[in-house]
Structure 1
């Protein structure tokens, strides 16, 4: 499992301009264990674009990427970050990402399993 710390600029499509900050915060908190919002840095005022209301969001994420045989070096995972975020976002456009850190770690789900097994042995 590869743990990635990254920043992303994302244009979020809003259902309406009212309560846009609450909508964005709820959307960014509802992702899977593999994509976690660490910090929402900015949320722009709503604007009208492509016949829809939108808001630009800049946030920091922690991403858990599955290991890939194609990636020979940990830096090879940098190219996997943008597609991964795009796959997990709906009604949003990822405009840019900035990878801060890549680290090989144990899968968090396997780690929980190991803890349970250790408790069974005691």
Structure 2
């Protein structure tokens, strides 16, 4: 798995101005899957847009992506973060600012080789 920490700017459509901050916060906290909320940075007051009542939201997300054969280096995943976020949030995505990208591998997937210390000791001391 690949994990990216990114700051996301997007427009979130609202039904009403009443308690809009709490409805956006509950939406962000409920996100699961490849995109999860790390920190809510800002929620702007609602305004009228072409699609109706909208608020601009800035959030720090953790994005998990599957490893791809076509990507040889971590830098190769930069272009996949925006589409992954866009596919997994509701609202109009404006931009992503990538902070960090790293490999995430569970310990279950790695078999640790057991070391026979006695054999190693004799190998180096003979």
Instruction: Report the TM-score range of the alignment, normalised by the length of the smaller protein.
Output: 0.7 to 0.9
Q: CA deviation at 1:51?
A: 4.0
Number of residue pairs aligned between Structure 1 and Structure 2: 108
Q: Which runs of 5+ in 1 are unaligned?
A: 115-122
Q: Distance in 1 between matches of 2:73 and 2:48?
A: 42
SS of aligned partner of 2:83: helix
Runs of 4+ in 1 over 6 A off after TM superposition: none
Question: Aligned pair in 2 of structure 1 residues 51, 101: CA closer, same or farther (>3 Å)?
Answer: closer
What is the TM-score of this pair, normalised by structure 2? 0.81
DSSP 3-state at the match of 2:67: coil
Matches within 5 A, 1:1-122: 1-90=1-90, 92-106=91-105, 114=108
Return the offset for 1:35: 1.2
Query: Could you tell me how far apart the structure 2 residues matched to 1:51 and 1:73 are?
Result: 39
Q: Which residue of 1 aligns with 2:119?
A: none
Alignment partners' CA distance in 2, 1:4 and 1:41: 17
Indicate the structure (1 or 2) with the bigger Cα radius of gyration: 2
Unpaired runs of at least 5, structure 2: 109-126
**C-alpha distance in 1, partners of 2:66/2:30?**
20
Aligned-CA RMSD value: 1.3
d(CA) in 2 for partners of 1:102 and 1:28? 21
